[in-house]
Amino acid sequence: MFKSQSPSQLPYFDLAPVPMLLINEQGEIVHINGEGFKLLRSVVSEDIATFDGCVSRRQWAEVKCFFDVSSTNQHESIYRNVVVLNGQTGIHLLSVTLASTHPNKLFIASFSPYTEQNDQEICIDQMPMSMAIVNEEGRFEQVNSAFCHLVGYQEEALRNVKEDELSFNSDANSERPLRQCLAQNNRSQYSVEKRYIHKNGHHIWVRTYVTRLAPPGKPQRYIVAVVNIHEEKQLQEVISTSERRFRAIAENVSSVVWISAPDPMRLLYVNKCYDTVWEEPVEKLYSDPRAFLNRIHPNDRDLAAEMRFSPQTDSWSINYRLVFPDHRVKHVRDSGHCVYDGNGDLIYRVGTLTDITYEIDQRDNMMVMAKKLRDLVDFDTLTGIKSRHAIMTDVEDAYHQYGQTGDPSVLVYFDANGFKAINDTYGHEVGDRVLISIADHLSSNIRDTDVAGRIGGDEFVVLLRHAAEKEVPQILERLSGEITSPGLPEDVKISLSLGAVELTSEIDSAEQWLSNADGSMYENKRKFKRASHPLMRSV
């Protein structure tokens, strides 16, 4: 707060013969000279020290606007206007200059009594902003070069032209009541946004500040200060159009789209798809942005909350489940990221919430189908043991491992004795049960490290992995034992012929190994037949 009676550090300022004030950027009077205190003692005290307490808030706003627009040569710019001081009836000429800009702006304001000669002091052509003076009828009396440049006319062409003729009809009609109110001294000034029509026919968006001049004994006139806001309006239109397009897109996508301020608890926008996915009104989110968490599965809720509300999260993509009162479950993909401005400051958080239940169901179905396909390839559909393709893969693996480690393995080839006679006598149903019984017998009489497979028809193989020489005879004895099955006719007996070949370095391939085992089995089968000991009796 200033003190008018304190020793001054500005002797020349204090000795000035005209009322003068020092005003900071906030509009506070930081110093006043003696003449200024005499003039303003009715409105300035120890408790009231603001410039708009001397004139009006609009007047102070106009001063600030003038120097904001005068971005170049500010120290050479002088703001002048005719004002009526608060609590007084006399008219004064206000002059404001910029005394300092560092570290903050500091203004010098002076007041002088208004006389007819002061009209010449209001030289609008020296103003860097577009300005004009119009009479009571709204005709231009004076325009500066900046105004002429704005509308594209020479000064002579604008003489006695009405300002309304340069304005859109709708804008002129909207402004007319404000001008009438100003003429009736119901207000000191007003501002309005409107469109001027350029000489070339295009329109220009402007913001005008209109102040009434009413010197005693003379017709009142109006000072019109004009700020070109065309680019600002164009930018607003671009933003508005972009927003409309965004909403049109966002409201028609099948995902929930949301935007928040840097503080994720300040939700700015959520589209209506939230109603469909969460099955609750989107309005709940605007009152409580954490409300969406209530629908999330308890096991997934903490992760979802951390991703959305943690200030350290820059981008994320997670899946979680929604649980509904009727125990239905939906799967949702929650993706989002932060948006930064050119200075690297966070301005928005944006994200989408997509119902991926169908996708998850399809994935699960594909996994089930893939497993079934693998089973069809890897396992024999009749017997349940490994298929020819799968068992041969194991045989090849064992062959290659032997080449690297010398790990011993034995391949045993089996054939069902008299199987064709059983099929011909009892039919394929009994024949299938015989094959199933053989597969069960082989699987139950091998070690966990061994594997059994069906080569085709009534032929089977067993791969004895890591088989020590002393273990093989015991395993073969179990495998060649009698096979019983309670589901077969009583007089059907099942026996097997087998041939076993140990893998050695003399065997050149897995196919040769299988062929050698097959040959060994048939040699044993022929020997058995020559000895007249049939392993299967026909009925």
Mind telling me the catalytic residues? 458
Question: Phi and psi for 135 in degrees, rounded to 5?
Answer: -90, -175
Is residue 105 within 8 A of residue 79, CB to CB? The reply is: no
User: What is the residue-wise DSSP string for 462-480?
Assistant: EEETT--TTTHHHHHHHHT
Contacts of 537 (CB under 8 A, 6+ apart): 418, 491, 493
Residue 468 C-beta-side C-alpha neighbours within 13 Å: 4
User: What is the residue-wise DSSP string for 340-384?
Assistant: E-TTS-EEEEEEEEEE-HHHHHHHHHHHHHHHHHHHHHHB-TTT-
User: In the chain, what is the straight-line distance between the N-terminal and C-terminal CA atoms, in Å?
Assistant: 126
CB-based burial label for 423 (10 Å; 0-12, 13-18, 19+): middle
Which alpha helices (H) appear in 47-183, and where do they start and end? 57-69, 118-121, 145-151, 155-158, 169-183
Look up residue 475 and give its two tokens. 């395993």
- 204 DSSP 8-state letter: E
Residue 391 sits at the vertex; the CA angle it makes with 471 and 394, to the nearest 5 degrees, is 70
Residue 37 sits at the vertex; the CA angle it makes with 35 and 38, to the nearest 5 degrees, is 65
* Separation between Cα atoms, residue 108 and residue 22, nearest integer Å: 5
- The residues with which 412 forms a beta bridge, in sequence order, are 462, 500
Determine the length of the chain: 539
Report the DSSP pairing between strands 410-416 and 315-323. unpaired
Report the 10 Å Cβ neighbour count for 89.
6
Is residue 60 within 8 A of residue 93, CB to CB? The reply is: no
Report the 10 Å Cβ neighbour count for 385.
23
| Maximal C-alpha separation, the chain | 150
CA distances for 41 relative to 19, 94, 107, angstroms: 11, 17, 20
3-state DSSP call for residue 296?
Answer: strand
Report the DSSP pairing between strands 130-134 and 140-143. antiparallel
- 165 DSSP 8-state letter: G
What is the dihedral angle through the alpha carbons of 66, 71, 72, 76, rounded to the nearest 10 degrees?
30
CA distances for 118 relative to 88, 115, 221, 506, angstroms: 19, 5, 14, 123
- The residues with which 330 forms a beta bridge, in sequence order, are 322
